[in-house]
Amino acid sequence: MSGIGIKRFLIFGAILLLVLPSIQSAFGNNIDSNEINITNTSYTEHFTNCIILILGICNEVKGPPLWKLGFYCNILKKDFTINAKGEDVENIHVLIRGSDNFKFIGGKDIINIEIKGATGLVFWGGKSLIFETTPIIARFKAKDIYLTE
């Protein structure tokens, strides 16, 4: 390599070293990922390829809008969020059997469960005409579960 080629290579390398950190800081926060970004939480656990059973009373369940009198049965994979904020008489019991571990949480009144790629059955009293309270009974087979206590 000639002296001019080495100088061009060093100048190009110096410019890259100066420019790349600014590109990362400008675009780094806007990059989408498959992971859920949960902030201001105390503890988050991730489970993959698992079965989850949820029983209790919960005031907030977000999912597809196709509820029939409180029941939802999904054949195609959907995403659900079950969020107990400690309001009124909220109390949730969760049983998770993952591919490599087992978890039971009993009597939590503040918990957030994000279920990704789920198939299963759900009954939630918030969409039912029968109950004044909001009981939830759910059984999912899910690809990913993010459990925040």
Total structural domains within the chain: 2
Q: Which two tokens stand for residue 147?
A: 């459990």
Does residue 38 sit within a domain? no
CB 81 within 8 A of CB 54: no
Does residue 124 sit within a domain? yes
16 & 50 share domain: no
This model's pTM is above 0.75:
no
58 & 27 share domain: no
Q: How far is CA 35 from CA 28, 45, 46, 144, in A?
A: 15, 12, 10, 10
Residue 9 has pLDDT above 70, yes or no: yes
CB 113 within 8 A of CB 54: yes
Q: Which of 50, 144, 148, 142 is nearest to 96 (CA)?
A: 50
Does residue 10 sit within a domain? yes
Q: Which helix (H) or strand (E) holds 106?
A: strand 102-108
| pLDDT 10s digits, 40-63 | 546 788 889 999 999 999 988 888
72 & 5 share domain: no
| pLDDT 10s digits, 96-135 | 998 778 889 888 889 999 999 999 899 988 888 887 888 9
64 & 121 share domain: yes
CB 149 within 8 A of CB 82: no
